[in-house]
A and B are shown apart, each in its own frame.
Chain A
Amino acid sequence: MNQYLNSLQSEWMKTKRSAASWLVTGGAFFIPFIIILIRLIKQSTLPEAYRAPNFWQRNLAQNWQVMAFFLLPMGVILATSLITQSEYRNHTWKQLHATPQRYATIFFAKLTVIILMLLQFFILFNLGVFLSVLIPFLLLKNVSYPVAVFPWLFSLKTNATFFIDCLPVMAIQYLVGLQFKNFLVPLGIGIGMLTAATFAISWQYGYIIPYSYSLFNFLAMSAVKDKPVYAVNIHLVATAYFLAAIIAGYFLYVNKKNKC
């Protein structure tokens, strides 16, 4: 256990000033920033919107809209690939594998760092969502603080389901990123799968594509008509895909002939 914690600390130190960490921070605040700008430009409708009883739910949906469809899966694809590619780019796999650590320790420490970065993204995004409400309120005199009670349970459930839904994307990207030296391979596979998921959204078996769950989840919580209804719980399918990809990824990683 100590070895795992030491390895985790070591892996976390590598994210300092890394492209992946900038991506997490920048990506988390991007949509809220755009929404703040829109609100400041189109401020005439704000006083009424802030008074609406379902203001928080609408605000959350507005922020999640673009995030769920594109930025979240794309961000997970990029950040996960960047974490694994950092070792290839810096020629550090050989140094890492020449340290006295079990391969399982290295594999799970890296995986934990990616999951922690995903959590960090969710926390920063939620902070951004809150700032997208607070900043217009602080800057505009005619806008009052929302009267509606903040829906904690709804917010937590939304975050938790989106988090679960992007776990298979992360696990598959991790598996591919560990196997291929060329950054374009995990990136290409990720973009390809995401495109396939977008096309499969109206297909009754679209849930078999593991990159589609955040899209489905958003559609399920939105007011869109003709939203797809599946016979399965997509969050459970996402969890199953995540576990399967992690087991396969670990097996392939440990049995890799060349660990340089």
Chain B
Amino acid sequence: MTGLCLQTDKLTYSFSKNEPALNDINMQVEEGCIYGFLGANGAGKTTTLRLVLGLLKNQQGNINVFGKPLKENRLEILRRTGSLIESPSLYGHLTAIENLSLLQKIYQCPRERIAKVLEQVGLGDTGTKKVNHFSLGMKQRLSIAVALLNSPSLLILDEPTNGLDPNGIIEMRELLKHINRHQGVTIIISSHLLTEIEKLVTHVGVIHKGSLLFQGTLAALQNRQLQASVLKFDTSDPVRSLRVIRDCGIEVHAETGKVVMQMMSKEKTAFVNAQLVKNDIAVYAIQTAATDLETIFMNLINE
């Protein structure tokens, strides 16, 4: 069993007395995983991540990173952490190399890391071009390079795909997968779009209005997806069909002239079909109505 890279315990924060931004957030990020932190705009993702990085003064609750309390080990934790919080944090009057050089002085990492991370994010040839003249996508890539500079064990990326084109998103996804698999870096990536990160993450946390609604593996979320999907039977006699299926011990209801039940195995579907036919009910069509992960996510935040 792997340990926890990040753990928050009853993390609560409010910007003003009457408006709590976070309520008892118990986040658990396993070592070596890619944790997708999902939520609509204003849900509390950035506030949580800022607290984890010590950018906001913690009001209530505990934060442990690498098994150590953040409060007493801030510098040690930050030395092993890379981050990108919201908009790119770059000095516009400097070049990409200069931006990385001034951080290299602080981290005291090998100077070769600068060329390496620039190459990794596809900015190896920007030369003397000032960051002010970069496109938003280039700035975002450079921000990722900044986050990778100190070879972190934990990478915290808040909405890193902002400003990236579809190709850039795919490249970034591959890059993050690569550093996760080959360097064992734990990654926390926040987004308001599940579709954007579902191909990348192993674990998911869903936050809404400051509360963590779901936390678990992507498989657990997909299981919810399966449970939320339905099977529809179009038959010659829907009323009798309901009775026959209920007699088989299956929960069922009618919907626009069709018989609707929760998704089940192929064998069980064949069995229900056989029972209907056996009772002289003609089955015209069997349809599956799958719920995508995005709908699950929306259902979670609307519950």
Contacts and interface: CB of A to CB of B under 8 A. Distances in A.
B91 A258 contact: no
Which of A7, A16, A97, A99 gathers the greatest number of chain B CB atoms within 10 Å?
Answer: A99
Contacts of B79: 100
Interface string B76-115: 1011010101111111111000100111011110000000
B89 A90 contact: yes
Interface stretch (B32-40, B53-61, B161-169, B264-272): B53-61
Interface residues of B, number: 32
Contacts of B98: 13, 16
Contact of A98 (B55, B92, B102): B55
Given A7-B106, A11-B102, A16-B93, 14 more contacts: A7-B105, A9-B102, A13-B101, A16-B94, A19-B93, A95-B146, A97-B55, A98-B78, A98-B85, A100-B75, A100-B78, A101-B106, A259-B55, A260-B56
A9 B56 contact: no
Interface in B167-222: none
B253 interface: no
B50 interface: yes
Contact of A95 (B50, B56, B89, B94): B89
Contacts of B75: 100-102
B106 A10 contact: yes
Contact of A10 (B54, B56, B105): B105
A14 B102 contact: yes
Interface of B: 50, 53-57, 74-76, 78-79, 81, 83, 85-94, 98, 101-103, 105-108, 146
A101 to B, nearest CB: 6
A5 to B, nearest CB: 9
A252 to B, nearest CB: 13
A132 B80 CA distance: 54
A257 B50 contact: no
Nearest to A22: B93
Contact of A99 (B56, B76, B86, B106): B106
A98 B91 contact: no
Contacts of A258: 55-57
Given A259-B55, A259-B56, A99 B103 contact: yes
Contacts of A9: 102, 105
Interface in A91-122: 91-102
Contacts of B85: 94-95, 98, 260
